[in-house]
Amino acid sequence: MRGDSSDDIDGPAREPPVEEHESARAVARIARALPPVERAYAFARFVIMRQKLLALMNLVLPGEGRILDVGCGFGLFSAYFALVCPDRRMVGVDPAARRIAMARTVAERLGIRNNEYRVGTVETSALKGPFDAIFMLDVLHHVPRESQLPLLTQLSGMLAPRGVMLIKEVTTDQPFKLRFTELLDRMMVGFDEPLAYRHHHDWSRLLHGLGLRTRIVRVPDVLPYPHVVIVGRPTG
């Protein structure tokens, strides 16, 4: 017989840590690093993203290398992905200066030294590829429709030959769920900003046109969010 029962459950000491064990702790640490209002927002974002979505995206992203977080906001997810895999070097970019200031504060408070944050858009912030991964979490539908393809074109040019583009969006094939999401988005951005949702096949077509092959998963949720995760990889 091999080992005792605790050995069977936990595995031998040399095994790598199971990142799931770190996930809840990482979320709590990030929330604690924020002031009260932003902490409430962070909890809401982590409830929306859920552990299963985070786990799925964490497995898609490489465990090390340069990773770009487009529309990083307060840097919640670049901090999260860095905490669960400290060999990642994250670059976050967002046009909201206050959010970027907060992202820097969070990284500093958590002792994350590999994360770098820039104010601006991808066009204005003089980013230099290649990146081993580029991700956008609920960002593309905030970009005007006519600017979405130019943005994706620019980003695909910054992707390393074996890189991965990870997009978390809300899709449009379930009108009730889409209305629910739109209502929450409107509460955040008001009625002046455009919201340009697309069907997941539409995103996929745009990525194919840029030479990326895609895989798509719908992620069901107890809340009426039409979550979709799209992964694109260069075909070459």
Ligand X SMILES: C[S@@+](CC[C@H](N)C(=O)[O-])C[C@H]1O[C@@H](n2cnc3c(N)ncnc32)[C@H](O)[C@@H]1O
Nearer to ligand X, 29 or 142 (CB): 142
CB of 207 to ligand X, least distance (A): 17
**Vertex 184 angle, CA 218 and 32, to 5°:** 90
Nearer to ligand X, 114 or 125 (CB): 125
CB of 62 to ligand X, least distance (A): 19
**The pair of three-digit structure tokens given for residue 42, joined into one six-digit string:** 């962070």
Site for ligand X in 79-138 (CB under 6 A): 94-96, 99, 121-122, 137-138
Per CB under 6 A, 38 contacts ligand X: no
Whose tokens are 């798509």? That residue is 216
- The string of DSSP codes covering 99-118 is HHHHHHHHHHHTT--S-EEE
- In DSSP terms, 88 is beta-bridged to 65
One of 139, 166, 170, 229 touching ligand X (CB under 6 A): 139
Distance between CA atoms of residues 216 and 218, nearest Å: 7
Nearer to ligand X, 85 or 170 (CB): 170
Q: Which stretch binds ligand X (CB under 6 A): 14-22, 25-33, 73-81, 221-229?
A: 73-81
Residues 6+ apart with CB under 8 A from 103: 72, 73, 74, 75, 78, 79, 92, 94, 115, 117
Which residues contact ligand X (rule: CB under 6 A)? 45, 70-73, 76-77, 94-96, 99, 121-122, 137-139, 142-143
